[in-house]
Amino acid sequence: VTGEPVLRGRRARLAWEADCLERERREARIVLAFGGVLIPAWALFDLLLEPQLARPFALLRTVGTAACWGAFVALRGERSLARVRAVVGGAVALAGATIAVMLPAVRNFSAYLFGFSLCFWAPGALLSWRVRHALGLSAWLLAVAAAAFALWPGRGLADLVTAGFYLASAAVVSTGMTFAHRRAMYRAFEASHLLERRNAELERALERLGDAQARLVSSEKLSAVGRLLAGLSHEINNPLNVLHNNVEPLREHLARLVDAARVAGAGDPAELAALRARWAELDLDWITADSLDAIDASRVAVDRIRQIQRDLRVFVRGDAPEMVLADVNEGIRATAALLARRLPDGAALSVDLSPLPPIRCHPGQLNQVWHNLLQNGLDAIGERGAVTVSSRLAGDRIEVAVVDTGPGIAPEHRARLFEPFFTTKDVGKGTGLGLATSYQIVQRHGGAFALDPTHAGGARFVVELPVAAT
Ligand SMILES: Nc1ncnc2c1ncn2[C@@H]1O[C@H](COP(=O)(O)OP(=O)(O)OP(=O)(O)O)[C@@H](O)[C@H]1O
Ligand SMILES: [Mg+2]
């Protein structure tokens, strides 16, 4: 009924009060400053109309102005809503009483009263007093004015009715203003509260999303590593077999050589013939040649395993939480090398890298991006075709492009490429997270990631990364 908000909780109530106090102080200053101009102006107007009343109106002007400005000064230090209202109420009452006292001397009564009554109620309306306060003030002023007017000799009933009419219309106008103002304030307050709550909810949701995203990125990384390792285990198996198959014969060869060396070590030249016989018997010519071959093969096998291990170490970099200075090319090279190990005969993966300055980045995460792009390219070309990754410096940005000779991307799929879980691959083959996570990783690096729409034949993805100012 009062137009006040139904607010649950003490804090909401206090916030509402503080909000009101702030507004009312601001508005009270405007109203009082307005009154400070209007009252003297009105008095001046009457002064011009009725020169014989110059002295009383000079008095009225002085009192009205003093009341307004006194209230204005007092208001600046007020700290509570109730006192703001008390000061404004006091000022209005004082001005009202002054005018009531002066009323009987005024001839142009109705217009005068109408102007002033609006002036009285305006503060009430603007200061959003409770409706019953505004009505009470209206009734009070109406009573004072009517009594003073009726008591003064020489006034007729018609004058009284006109005055009552004007006063009542002013009361209705101001009451309407009070209602409207109150409601608008409540709406604004509620909207701001609602917004605040929504904001808090959104913030929480964002936090949860951030966590989920971090989990997705790391699980995507794990799955990429898993797929790579599945391919590489075969790749490591071959050199391991070579080592395994060579170690036993090498041991036997060595035993025979040691045997022959022992005969030679006996040192008797007469036994040279026996040594030769033994040499032939042990087939040492073949054994030495085969041993060298076995050692060569083993060395190659060990080199391959070491290279795989090195590439893997570059690829699976455990990233620290903060960015580090790193060469992007190094990661691209290692990732491509890992993927290139088990390609079908008709497929090729080539690397064309220009020298780049080191940039601040999470190298392990960027490797995830290169892996996703290259793997997608390799998936797209299948048994036959080529995937090329190139890097270059373009102004203050590093540009990495991955091009393939596959079928390209259907126009209806283009808009959905970076959507999480969007995949055209069979269940179990693709999760649809590759491009989505890559996009987020590039964004976190302040870069850009897009499909080149102008490229004809196959797909061309371009990643741009800013060169860190270090
Ligand atoms: N080079 C490309 N050529 C053709 N289509 C592509 C290419 N790269 C991506 N796509 C399309 O975009 C889809 C989404 O790719 P994305 O890497 O996000 O997921 P995915 O490869 O299907 O699965 P995941 O990478 O998680 O194993 C793919 O299913 C494929 O249809
Ligand atoms: Mg993919």
- Cα 81 from Cα 18, distance rounded (Å): 8
CA 153 to ligand 1 center in whole angstroms:
99
- The enclosing H or E element of 106 equals none
- Cα 113 from Cα 299, distance rounded (Å): 112
pLDDT at 31: 59
Structure tokens belonging to residue 423: 């995949």
430 lines ligand 1 (CB under 6 A): yes
Identity of the amino acid at 123: P
Find the ligand nearest to 388 CA.
1
Residue nearest to atom 29 of ligand 1 (CA): 423
CA 397 to ligand 1 center in whole angstroms:
25
* Three-class DSSP category at 460: strand
Pairing of β 359-361 and β 324-326: antiparallel
Closest atom, ligand 1, to C-alpha of 458: 3
pLDDT at 386: 96
409 lines ligand 1 (CB under 6 A): yes
Structure tokens belonging to residue 301: 């096998």
Global pTM reads: 0.56
137 lines ligand 1 (CB under 6 A): no
- The enclosing H or E element of 451 equals strand 448-451
Residue nearest to atom 8 of ligand 1 (CA): 376
420 lines ligand 1 (CB under 6 A): no
Residue nearest to atom 31 of ligand 1 (CA): 424
Residue nearest to atom 5 of ligand 1 (CA): 409
pLDDT at 286: 87
Contacts of 121 (CB under 8 A, 6+ apart): 134, 137, 138, 170, 171, 173, 174, 177
CA 184 to ligand 2 center in whole angstroms:
54
376 lines ligand 1 (CB under 6 A): yes
405 lines ligand 1 (CB under 6 A): no
387 lines ligand 1 (CB under 6 A): no
pLDDT at 108: 55
425 lines ligand 1 (CB under 6 A): yes
pLDDT mean by block of 10 residues, the chain; 470 residues: 51 72 68 61 58 58 61 60 65 62 58 55 52 59 63 64 59 60 71 84 89 77 75 80 86 83 72 79 84 87 86 75 88 92 90 94 90 94 95 94 95 90 85 89 92 92 83
What burial class does residue 209 get, using C-beta atoms within 10 Å of its C-beta: 0-12 exposed, 13-18 middle, 19+ buried?
exposed
- Cα 212 from Cα 452, distance rounded (Å): 29
316 lines ligand 1 (CB under 6 A): no
- The enclosing H or E element of 446 equals none
With vertex at residue 98, the alpha carbon angle to CA 96 and CA 99, rounded to the nearest 5 degrees, is 65
Q: What is the DSSP string of 276-312?
A: HHHHHHTTHHHHHHHHHHHHHHHHHHHHHHHHHHHHH
224 lines ligand 1 (CB under 6 A): no
Mutate which of 435, 437, 449 for ligand 1? The one with the most ligand atoms within 8 Å of its CB, which is 435
Closest atom, ligand 1, to C-alpha of 404: 1
35 lines ligand 1 (CB under 6 A): no
CA 312 to ligand 1 center in whole angstroms:
23
